[in-house]
Amino acid sequence: MPLDASARATLLKAARQTIEHNLTGDESAFENYNQNPVLRQPHASFVTLKRHSVLRGCIGTLEPKRPLLEDVIHNAMAAAFEDPRFPPLTAPELESLYIEISVLSAAEPINARDRAELLRVLKPGRDGLIVQEGKLRATFLPAVWTSLTDPGTFYEELMKKSGLGINHWSSDLKFFRYHAESFEQEL
């Protein structure tokens, strides 16, 4: 489901304008003139915000719940103002704000009997990974491979993020892989 340049530009503009309008108190909503049908189809997405190459917020959805354009707008607001790791974005930060959007494929289960088998089937640089057990769930986007290049470290950090612990393994533990089409604003 590759997005054309126009759809990518629309999503980036929608994310930025939504954040800007919230900071300025402007009630006007993003107006979409792009007729690409993929923008109206349900897709899961993540919006990542950075300032000076440092993470400033990242929120997304793992399952397609709403049309892609609506999902990106929702996640842009959440990344800017609701990411629990950061205080809400402020107007002075907007000037140096850098936006990246990732549109996720459907997640597919990975049936692994143990950690070694899971690490063998993972494709570094390509696979996003979801770990889930009961109500605990966490994910790393494929882009995380740029900073965690070793599959063992990637796995351990994801397990820590989930709250399950790096040595945890049980029959209730589930893993899912997905791919992402990621794009960012021009610098």
Could you read off the pLDDT of 86-111 as tens digits, one per residue?
Answer: 999 999 998 899 999 999 999 999 99
32-52 in b/e form (b: 16+ CB < 10 A) is bebebebbeeebbbbbbbbee
Residue 97 is encoded by which pair of tokens? 């704000």
CA angle 103, 14, 84 (to 5 degrees): 70
Number of domain units in the chain: 2
Rounded Cα distance between 104 and 178, Å, is: 7
Final residue belonging to a domain, choices 47, 73, 104: 104
pLDDT band (50, 70, 90) for residue 47: very high
| pLDDT tens digits along 125-166 | 999 999 999 999 999 999 999 999 999 999 999 999 999 989
pLDDT higher than threshold 60 for residue 187 = no
Residues of the domain holding 63:
5-104
Kindly report the pTM of this predicted structure: 0.90
Report the CATH number at residue 146: 3.30.1490.150
The pLDDT of residue 36: 87
91 and 116 share a domain?
no
154 and 100 share a domain?
no
Rounded Cα distance between 124 and 142, Å, is: 8
